[in-house]
Structure 1
């Protein structure tokens, strides 16, 4: 039993898989954070542009 535990503790076969899972989760988390931030900023800028365009007056061109 001691020999089995010793080989189990020293075995590193699944360590790379765990590393990839952690790295992938971190990348996905950062991606979600960036997208959320950019969407909020785009909505704010879009609202300001829309209000500016709605407030603008168009002058008529009289060709007579």
Structure 2
């Protein structure tokens, strides 16, 4: 029994598997954190785009002025 314990402790079989499991777990954890950070930023950006498009006025224009999108704070689309 003592010989088995010594061989088991000295054996390095499976050590590479543990390394890969730890590495993959780290990659998954960092990816999840990155997704959460990006999702928050994209939600804020999407809200800003939504607000800008909701307040924009679309003009078809006339003979003197070209048509286009006029957003809040602009004069004649400029």
Task: Give the TM-score category using the shorter length.
Answer: 0.7 to 0.9
Higher RCO (CA < 8 A, seq sep 6+)? 2
The structure carrying a bigger strand percent of its residues is: 2
- Total equivalences in the alignment: 64
Instruction: Report the Cα offset of residue 49 of structure 1.
Output: 1.2
Unpaired segments of 5 or more residues in structure 1? none
The structure carrying a bigger helix percent of its residues is: 1
With normalisation by structure 1, the TM-score equals: 0.85
Unpaired segments of 5 or more residues in structure 2? 65-78
With normalisation by structure 2, the TM-score equals: 0.72
RMSD: 1.6
